[in-house]
Amino acid sequence: MSFRLSQRDEDIIRFINQFRAVDRDSLVELFFKQLKSPVNACNSVMVRLYRLELIERTQQYSPTVYLPVDAKIKKNSQKILHFLSILDVYKQMCTYSTPKQVIVEDKPTGRKGGIEPDLFCIFKGSPFWIEIQRNQYSEQKMQAKINLYEEFFFSDEWQALHWQPEDRSAIFPSIILITPVRYAVSSDHIRIIQVTSIHELMEKYKSPAKLQKEARSRTNVSSGGVKIKLT
C-alpha cells in the first residue's frame, strides 16, 4: 500500500512516541486548534494513522488515548494516567513558552537505581528535572529521592550530559516537585521547588515589573516574560 505522510502526520507520530500516551483533546490543542473544525480534523487524521498501523489506541478512556505501535503498556494500565500527567505538565509549559530538549522519563545516570525524573526540559532558558507526584508518599521516601539527586550532583557526571551548554559552565538542573502535598525535604546543594502546577510556578516567579504590567493591562502570557533564575 502506497501512502504519503504529511509533516503534521510525522510530527504527531513522533510526539506520541515521545510522550507514550496522548489523548485526543491534547492532539487537538497542540496540532489542530488553528483549523475551522479542529476536533473533526483530528479524528479524521488519527483514524487514518491508526488504520495505517502507525499508531495504537485505547478506548478505555474518553476521549481516545493514542499510543506508540510498540507500546509495552497494557491498554488499561494505570501507567497511561502517569504519562497523561506528564503530558499535562508539558502543555501547561507550552502556554508560556515551548520547552526544549524534552525527555520523558529521563534516566541521566544510565544506571538502575539512579534518579529517574518524570520529565527533563529546558524551560525559559533554565534546565529542570520534574517529579510529578500523583500519590502521597512519606517524607522519608521523598527525602531519599532528593538524596539520589545529591549523589548525582557530587558525581559530576551531569556536567557531560548532551544538553549542557558548550559556551559556558555546566548547570545542574533545579528540581520541580509537582505535588498537592508540601514535603519537608531539603538540600544544601540543589534547588528544590515545590508547586501544585506549572501555573503556580509561573505565578511564584513573576517579576515585579511583570506584575505591574499585568495590573495595567491583562494580556496573555508571552514566551518572552518570566525568567526563572537558578541563583
Reduced to 3 states (helix: H, G, I; strand: E, B; else coil), residue 144 is helix
CA angle at 13 for the pair 8 and 165, rounded to the nearest 5°: 90
| Strand pairing class (192-195; 174-178) | parallel
CA distance 177 to 82: 15
Q: In the prediction, which pLDDT does 69 show?
A: 95
User: 209: pLDDT confidence band, cut at 50, 70 and 90?
Assistant: low
Q: In the prediction, which pLDDT does 219 show?
A: 37
Residue 209 vs residue 33, higher pLDDT: 33
Is the per-residue pLDDT at 210 higher than 90? no
Q: Report yes or no: 132 and 86 within 8 Å, Cβ to Cβ.
A: yes
Q: Which residue has the cell 521516601?
A: 141
Is the per-residue pLDDT at 222 higher than 50? no
Q: Which residue has the cell 513558552?
A: 97
Q: What is the pLDDT of residues 3-45, one digit of tens each?
A: 789 999 999 999 999 999 999 999 999 999 999 999 999 999 9
CA distance 181 to 133: 9
Closest CA to 87 of 74, 75, 105: 105
